[in-house]
Homo-oligomer: A and B are copies of this chain.
Amino acid sequence: MGVKERKERDRQEMRDTILQSAHQLFVDKGFDDVSIRNIAEAIEYSPATIYLYFKDKNEIFYALHMEAFKIFNEYMFTLAEIQDPFMRLMKMGERYMEFTFKFPKYYDIMFIMQAPMNCDINSEEWKMGEAAHCQLENLVKECQDTGHFTGKDYKTLSFLIWSTMHGMCSLALRDRMKIYVEEERSKMLEKSFTMFKQILETI
């Protein structure tokens, strides 16, 4: 009598198939440039079928959003080998930038895209985002234990650090660095990140 169970498995399989196709198309072209029909064509089903497995395009967005955060968190928080918290924080910044330019479309949905973020506070994707941010705050606090950032509110500083990293990354991703000639851009990013690290060392 495992029919129900198999049905459920089939359902999950189909959801995965859809998401895999969506993922691939999405990483190539970006969320807005991938249509339901594109996904349907890729998996050789009719467009309407997608709607049997996902409420709408946003639900696919959410699923990819979650996947993105999974990759992001793995990318960012596998730095246990680095003992010194400040060094770890610096390395995290580097990883943040690496992630951004390695998965630009993911960075986009995670931090830039206008999305109907009616995601309630309990949704899984949301928890991932919160976990990431929590890790940053804890790390900043740890840095304070080793003599850094004395007198600074660690929550505020965490947000400020995130903002700075996000600012550099998103300006680059969204092509707002045309004030600098092509060849200078990555150099400028590097230099400003280096300067940021220096500043963090002195405060």
Per-residue B-contact encoding for A102-135, CB less than 8 Å = 1, 0 else: 0000000001111101010100001001100100
With both chains docked as a complex, state the minimum distance between the C-beta of A106 and any C-beta of chain B, in angstroms.
14
Query: Mostly helix, strand, loop or mixed at chain A's interface?
Result: helix
- Residue contact B117 to A160, C-beta cutoff 8 Å: no
- Give the number of copies in the complex: 2
Band of interface residues on A? 35 or more
Contact A174 B112 (CB under 8 A): yes
Asked whether any CB of chain B lies closer than 8 Å to the CB of A162, the reply is: yes
Q: Which of A148-203 contact B (CB under 8 A)?
A: 152-153, 155-157, 159-160, 162-168, 170-171, 174-176, 178-179, 188, 191-192, 195-196, 199, 202-203
A156, B195: Cβ atoms closer than 8 Å: yes
Inter-chain CA distance A121–B196, complex, in Å, is 29
Residues of A within 8 A of B (CB): 30, 32, 111-115, 117, 119, 121, 126, 129-130, 133, 152-153, 155-157, 159-160, 162-168, 170-171, 174-176, 178-179, 188, 191-192, 195-196, 199, 202-203
